[in-house]
Structure 1
């Protein structure tokens, strides 16, 4: 029995410090499920896992950039406060 075109809809919630949750929609991961061997499903899942790992790395990069920008804003705010 082969079922093709199963659609998985994943949402990854990413919490930033002063922002609400940003939902990264990982839409329409096409998975071919082969029930008699299971091999294609494992291959597809490995592929999805590697893509999710890549997304996680990008999220971590964004979090670092967010922290850097927040520190920069704090420096500007402190400098403005000192000038007053």
Structure 2
């Protein structure tokens, strides 16, 4: 479902949007949609990376969790 939105942007951003065809976009809306999708993907990847780092730190500090993981890995190797 497409909806309209009014934006206040800087003059250089408007100039960039007005040259959308130079970058292979059919119109300004397509250019904005692609930019937003890319930003969303980058932010989600950043969140995932931060989460992975947090889990790694927790694992590094938790000897019991490391032992549990090693036991589970050994069990999988046996089966």
- The alignment's TM-score, normalised by the length of structure 1, stands at 0.46
Structure with higher Rg: it is 2
- Structure of higher RCO (CA pairs closer than 8 Å, 6+ residues apart): 1
- The alignment's TM-score, normalised by the length of structure 2, stands at 0.48
Larger fraction in strand? 1
